[in-house]
Amino acid sequence: MPKLNLRETERAIKFVKDAFQRHLKMKLGFERVSAPMFVKAGTGINDDLNGVERPVSFDVSKQGGTQVEIVQSLAKWKRLALKRYGYRSGEGIYTDMNAIRRDDICDNQHSIYVDQWDWEMVIGREQRNVDFLKMVVRRIVAAIVDTLEDARKVFPAIDLRLKRDVAFVTSQEALDAYPALTPHERERELTKRYGTVFLMNIGGPLSDGKPHDGRAPDYDDWQLNGDILFYDEVLDDSIEISSMGIRVDAESLARQLKAAGADDRMKYEYHRAILNDELPLTIGGGIGQSRLCMLLLEKAHIGEVQVSLWPDEMRLECDKAMIHLL
C-alpha cells in the first residue's frame, strides 16, 4: 500500500522539487535559467544519447518548414549557454528539462516522458580530475539527503533513510567484483552493499570488450563521468538518480568520436567549437525529477509521481497491486 494517497502525493511532489532546488543552490550556487523544449535539427546540439534513439521531430510551417527536434537532454545546449551568457569559472546554471524519448522502454523506472534538472558549471582545466568530480558528487548527494530530511518532517509517513557517504566504484571494478552478472545486476549488488554509489567511467569498453552502459561520445569524458545510484528498498533494486560528468575537451572529444565511429560529427559547429577551444570547460549532468520523487516518497512505480503513457496491461497490473498511477 502507498504511504501517501493521491492528494498527499501531489503535495509531496511539489515539496520535494522545491526543497531540492533550494538545497542544490545552497550546495553549488547555481542560477536557474530558461531552456528550450526543441532545437533545430542538423545542428548537433540535441543529445544523441546512445546514438540509436530517434528524437521526436516536426516542421515549423511559418518558418519555411524548418525541421526541429524535441530535446532528449540539454547536455550540449547548456555549454553553449554558459558561453553566451558570460558565466565564469565556478559559476553554473540549472534548468527544468522536459523531453520525450519515444524509444525508451516503459517499466516501473522508465517512461517516454523525461523530466530532470539539467545543470552545468564552468571549471578550470586544473579541475578536470577525479577529485573535483567526487567533490561535486558529494554535494549533490548531500542536497538529496537534506531534501529527504525536510520531507520526513512534513510527511511523517515517510520513513526512508539514505546514506550520505558515497562509495566510489569504477565500472571496471564492478565487473571485476561481479563478472557473472549483467551491468544492472552489478548496480543492484553494489547499492545493496553500500547504499549510495557513484559508478564511474561509463562509456568506454571494459575488459570484457563491452561498456558498462552506453554514453554519447560528445558530452561526457568517459574517464571522468558516472551515475549516482541509491538502493531502493521498495523495489529491492538500484535506482539511478543522476548521470553526470566532466565534459569533453578537444582531446577527449576527438578520441571518443573515433572510438565510437562518429567522426562525421566533426562537421557540426558545436563539435568544431570544442576542438578549437572556443567553449568553456564544464562539468554537468541531469538529475531525474520523477526518479527523485519516486525514491524519496517510497513509490514502486514512476507513474505514481508523473503523468505519462503506459501499456494497458501495465495499468491493470498496477491496479491489482494497489499502485495508483497518475
Other C-beta atoms lying within 10 Å of the C-beta of residue 196: 22
* H or E, element range at 149: helix 130-154
Find the distance separating the first CA and the last CA of the chain, reported in whole Å: 15
* 8 A C-beta contact, residue 75 and residue 284: yes
Cα-Cα-Cα-Cα dihedral sign, residues 127, 74, 214, 265: negative
Q: Name residue 50's amino acid.
A: N
Catalytic residues: 47, 101, 116, 227, 240, 243
Q: What is the DSSP code (8-state) at residue 49? A: T
- What is the C-alpha to C-alpha distance for residues 145 and 151, in angstroms, rounded to an integer? 10
Q: Which three cell numbers stand for residue 84?
A: 553566451
Sheet of 92-100: strand order equals 31-32, 92-100, 113-122, 282-288, 237-247, 220-232, 196-200, 167-170
